[in-house]
């Protein structure tokens, strides 16, 4: 990092601490800042995170992945909260640890474990391999350092930008209901909950959308939506990087409504779309992968995303409640393998204990509605074969089987050596933003699990349950969180609830302790820290040895050119001789540009972060590869002259990596019809 930037960043942090950088007006409760950055990892030949399919490897980009940061500082107490929404399948402890370490070198103690919230949209269309725990890297073939670094760099950069943009402002709150983007994918398990609890969700979904609008000088500079639906509109057959429906929702608001250009806008509007308790909420409205509202996964992604944007935008525009009452936070690590759960938090009013982590046979079944497994198991159905296989491959003591109850143990992830395959020391956190409370969880809570936690915290905090949200996929990841009743069904979610039937009551109890500390105004004692496994990572994924063009070609050569003219709505397709995308991730840049000829020269009007474009990479033979770039011409595209430009890097046999550019012929865009 340049010395000048280091000094300026440190100075900004010092001035913030001393509260002399910005004169807050009497009307402003907070200093607010927003920032956005690119976190796109390796775009080719890296396993994708989410569906656990060995054959699903990245082969290009539909839309780049982003980190969106929202920073608030209480002008009265100077307490600060940084919340980052990432277009990731999940946030791992490795990411959380690395970001905290990097922030400490920049800002000292300003951003720390207590006040930093990093959450994921849960897209299943991004590159994986960024965990330090084996379970989440198995189908990725190990730890992928370049992707990990891109994510950490982008998250930190988004916080840097939000921090630098802090100024007096306000945060407005509004809530409403959205019922057209989710279905309960595990109804039999949901139905096992008591009727009195189910009455809170007559459609078996959580329709609550909460929108925070960040304003400076009366002008909206960002918005954060919190709403539960899975990032599984794109199926396990897709191999293009995508932020899925929430990524598109953010793009639609930022790009289409606010005119943001990610590579050139200096103070872009930032729209984050975070999850709440989305564990059993699917966007596949027909309860089949890639089905609903249409049978086209790209169109489903757009429609489900647009519906979220439209609702969030309407709520933002109608916001009238200004947050007040200050900021606060509590956080501690807990060992989820051995929590003693008091009777006050369990449905049967008896004390219980959580278990060492284990996956059940239902985990191998996958989610029938979103991403079914390999066909060796079915949800909610006993599978003696898988249970026997688990016993043959792993040592599973009877005490562990007894602890997990209805679960037929397949993989005892918490007992594997030399390190567990999943983390057991995990963070729980409670953050107050004025009247709103965010309870973060390192996993996927079902709507009923979230409801019970919210109800408990609302009672302790003395507020309405709508003012308490559970934010999943945050700061670490340990699979699912079901109620004890749902767990007994052993659908996919129950089989993936690592710590046994009392997982949800344990989280409810531990978060309630934080709430009691917050109400009492006392600090929370933290005696545990998670292990750091950065030292012990392996990668079995082949790297780039060299690139070679075909005979008579050079890198950037056009293999298949554009036509001379197109109409709006047509798709332009151009193929280029290319190098491997792993040679340079082009974070903050692009592998393609759609350029329009203007009086001032060629101007980029779209790139690989836009919905209208697709960048596909394909290995042709050995070291030879090609790139296919497509652009579906928008209905409102200006008429005129255009061309397609491809940017890439190629690696020689000696390991030298050099950039290249390829350009298509010029073509005309004519009026439709």
pLDDT by residue (tens digit) across 154-167? Answer: 999 999 999 999 99
Mean pLDDT value across residues 461-468? 98
- pLDDT in the model for residue 374: 52
Q: Are strands 219-226 and 270-274 parallel, antiparallel or unpaired?
A: parallel
The per-residue b/e assignment along 359-373, b for 16 or more CB within 10 angstroms, e otherwise, is bbbbbbbbbbbbbbb
Which of the listed residues 306, 325, 344 is the one where a domain comes to its end? 325
Coil, helix or strand for 143?
coil
Instruction: Please identify, among 325, 345, 368, the residue that sits at the C-terminal boundary of a domain.
Output: 325
Any domain includes 374:
no
Which position has the token pair 């293999």? 559
Angle between helices 244-251 and 297-317 (to 10 degrees): 50
- pLDDT confidence band for 542 (50 / 70 / 90): confident
| pLDDT (0 to 100) of residue 372 | 72
What angle is formed at CA 241 by the lines to CA 240 and CA 243, rounded to 5 degrees? 130
Determine, yes or no, domain membership for 349: no
| Residue 503 token pair | 């997982």
Q: Do residues 495 and 250 make contact, with C-beta atoms less than 8 angstroms apart?
A: no
15 pLDDT higher than 90: no
Half-sphere exposure of 571 (CA within 13 A, CB side): 9
- Per residue in 327-345, pLDDT (tens digit) is 999 999 999 999 999 999 9
Q: Per the domain annotation, does 119 fall within a domain? A: yes
- Exposure string (b/e) for 317-335, b if CB count within 10 Å is 16 or more? eebeebbeeebbbbbbbbe
Print the domain residue range for 651.
Answer: 558-670
pLDDT at 386: 42
The structure tokens listed for 454 are 């919210």
Would residue 130 count as lying in a domain?
yes
Which helix (H) or strand (E) covers residue 384, if one does?
helix 384-393
**Per 3-state DSSP, what percentage of the chain is helix, strand, and coil (rounded to 5)?**
25, 30, 45
The structure's pTM equals: 0.94
Domain assignment present for 443:
no
**C-alpha 668 chain-centroid distance:** 39
pLDDT on residue 382: 57
Measured CA to CA, the distance from residue 50 to residue 238 in angstroms comes to 12
- 119/110 Cα distance (integer angstroms): 19
Residue 505 above 50 pLDDT? Answer: yes
Number of domains in the chain: 2
Residue at 67 is within a domain:
yes
Domain membership flag for residue 608: yes
Domain boundary among 303, 325, 347: 325
Closest C-alpha to 163, from 33, 28, 271: 33
For residue 601, the domain's CATH number is 2.60.40.2300
Write down the number of H helices and E strands in the chain.
14, 36
pLDDT tens-digit series, residues 109-136: 999 999 999 999 999 999 999 999 999 9
Helix (H, G, I), strand (E, B) or coil at 616: strand
Query: What is the rounded CA–CA span in Å between residue 364 and residue 496?
Result: 9
Tell me the C-alpha distance between 468 and 571, whole Å.
46
Query: Is the pLDDT score of 527 beyond 70?
Result: yes
Neighbours of 383 (CB within 10 A): 21
What pLDDT score was predicted for residue 393? 67
Under DSSP, the state recorded for 476 is: S
Tens of pLDDT, residue by residue over 381-439, are: 555 544 544 444 688 999 999 999 999 999 999 999 999 999 999 999 999 999 999 99
Each residue's pLDDT tens digit, 351-397: 999 999 999 999 887 788 897 765 444 556 555 544 544 444 688 99
Helix (H, G, I), strand (E, B) or coil at 212: strand
Tens of pLDDT, residues 176-221: 999 999 999 999 999 999 999 999 999 999 999 999 999 999 999 9
The distance from CA 162 to its chain's CA centroid, rounded to whole angstroms, is 18
Residue 88 region by backbone torsions, left for phi larger than 0, else alpha for psi between -120 and 50, else beta: beta
CB atoms inside a 10 Å sphere around CB 113: 17
pLDDT at 290: 96
Mean pLDDT of the chain: 93
Give the span between the Cα atoms of 359 and 499, in whole angstroms: 9
CA atoms within a 13 Å half-sphere pointing along the CA-CB vector of 426: 32
Q: Does residue 516 have a pLDDT over 90?
A: yes
Task: For 60-95, write each residue's pLDDT tens digit.
Answer: 999 999 999 999 999 999 999 999 999 999 999 999
How far are the Cα atoms of 331, 537, 582 from residue 132, in angstroms, in the given order?
Answer: 22, 7, 21
The tokens 């019809």 sit on which residue?
Answer: 673
Residue 672 has pLDDT above 70, yes or no: no
**What is the model's pLDDT at position 23?**
39
Q: Determine the pLDDT at residue 373.
A: 60
What pairing do the DSSP bridges indicate for beta strands 409-411 and 371-372? unpaired
Please report whether residue 405 resides in a domain.
no
pLDDT tens digits for range 266-312: 999 999 999 999 999 999 999 999 999 999 999 999 999 999 999 99
């Amino acid at each position: 990092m340049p010395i000048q930037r280091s000094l300026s960043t440190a100075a900004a942090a010092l001035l913030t601490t001393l509260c002399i950088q910005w004169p807050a007006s009497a009307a402003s409760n907070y200093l607010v800042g927003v920032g956005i950055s690119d976190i796109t990892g390796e775009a080719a030949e890296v396993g994708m995170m989410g569906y656990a399919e060995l054959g699903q490897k990245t082969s290009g980009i539909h839309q780049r992945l982003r980190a969106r940061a929202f920073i608030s500082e209480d002008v009265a107490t100077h307490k600060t909260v940084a919340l980052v929404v990432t277009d990731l399948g999940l946030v791992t402890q490795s990411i959380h640890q690395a970001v905290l370490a990097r922030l400490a070198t920049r800002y000292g103690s300003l951003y720390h474990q207590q006040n930093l919230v990093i959450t994921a949209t849960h897209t299943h269309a991004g590159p994986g391999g960024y965990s330090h725990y084996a379970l989440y890297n198995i189908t990725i073939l190990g730890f992928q350092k370049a992707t990990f670094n891109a994510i950490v760099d982008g998250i930190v950069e988004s916080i840097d930008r939000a921090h630098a943009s802090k100024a007096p402002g306000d945060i407005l709150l509004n809530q409403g209901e959205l019922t057209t983007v989710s279905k309960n994918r595990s109804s039999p398990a949901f139905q096992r909950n008591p009727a009195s609890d189910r009455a809170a969700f007559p459609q078996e979904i959580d329709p609550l959308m909460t929108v925070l609008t960040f304003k400076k000088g009366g002008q909206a500079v960002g918005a954060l939506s919190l709403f539960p639906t899975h990032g599984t509109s794109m199926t396990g057959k897709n191999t293009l990087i995508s932020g899925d429906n929430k990524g598109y929702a953010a793009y639609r608001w930022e790009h289409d409504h606010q005119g943001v250009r990610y590579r050139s806008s200096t103070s872009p509007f930032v729209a984050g779309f975070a999850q709440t308790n989305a564990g059993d909420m699917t966007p596949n409205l027909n309860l089949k992968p890639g089905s609903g509202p249409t049978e086209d996964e790209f169109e489903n992604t757009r429609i489900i995303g647009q519906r979220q944007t439209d609702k969030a935008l309407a709520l933002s525009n109608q916001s009238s409640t200004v947050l007040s009452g200050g900021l606060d936070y509590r956080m501690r690590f807990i060992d989820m393998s051995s929590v003693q759960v008091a009777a006050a938090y369990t449905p049967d009013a008896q004390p219980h204990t959580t278990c060492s982590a284990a996956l059940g046979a239902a985990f191998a079944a996958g989610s029938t509605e979103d991403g079914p497994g390999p066909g060796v198991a079915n949800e909610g159905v006993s599978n003696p074969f898988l249970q026997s296989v688990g016993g043959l491959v792993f040592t599973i003591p009877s005490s562990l089987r007894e602890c997990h109850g209805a679960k037929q143990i397949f993989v005892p992830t918490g007992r594997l050596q030399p390190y567990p395959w999943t983390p057991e020391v995990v963070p729980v956190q409670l953050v107050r933003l004025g009247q709103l409370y965010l309870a973060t969880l390192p996993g996927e809570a079902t709507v009923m699990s979230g409801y019970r936690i919210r109800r408990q915290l609302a009672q302790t905090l003395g507020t309405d349950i709508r003012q308490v949200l559970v934010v999943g996929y945050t700061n670490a990841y340990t699979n699912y969180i079901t109620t004890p009743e749902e767990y007994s069904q052993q659908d996919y979610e129950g089989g993936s609830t690592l710590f046994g039937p009392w997982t949800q009551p344990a989280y409810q109890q531990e978060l309630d302790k934080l709430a009691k500390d917050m109400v009492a105004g006392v600090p929370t004692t933290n005696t545990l820290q998670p292990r750091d496994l950065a030292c012990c990572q392996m990668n079995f994924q082949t790297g780039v040895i060299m690139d070679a063009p075909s005979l008579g070609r050079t890198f950037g050569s056009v293999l298949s050119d554009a036509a001379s003219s197109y109409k709006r709505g047509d798709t332009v397709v151009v193929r280029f001789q290319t190098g491997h995308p792993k040679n340079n991730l082009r974070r903050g840049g692009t592998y393609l540009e759609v350029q329009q000829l203007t009086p001032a020269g060629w101007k980029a009007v779209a790139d690989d972060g836009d919905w209208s474009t697709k960048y596909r990479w394909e290995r042709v033979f050995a070291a030879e590869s090609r790139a296919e770039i497509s652009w579906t011409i928008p209905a409102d595209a200006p008429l005129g002259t255009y061309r397609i430009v491809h940017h890439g890097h190629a690696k020689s046999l000696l390991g030298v990596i050099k950039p290249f550019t390829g350009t298509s012929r010029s073509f005309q865009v004519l009026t439709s019809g």
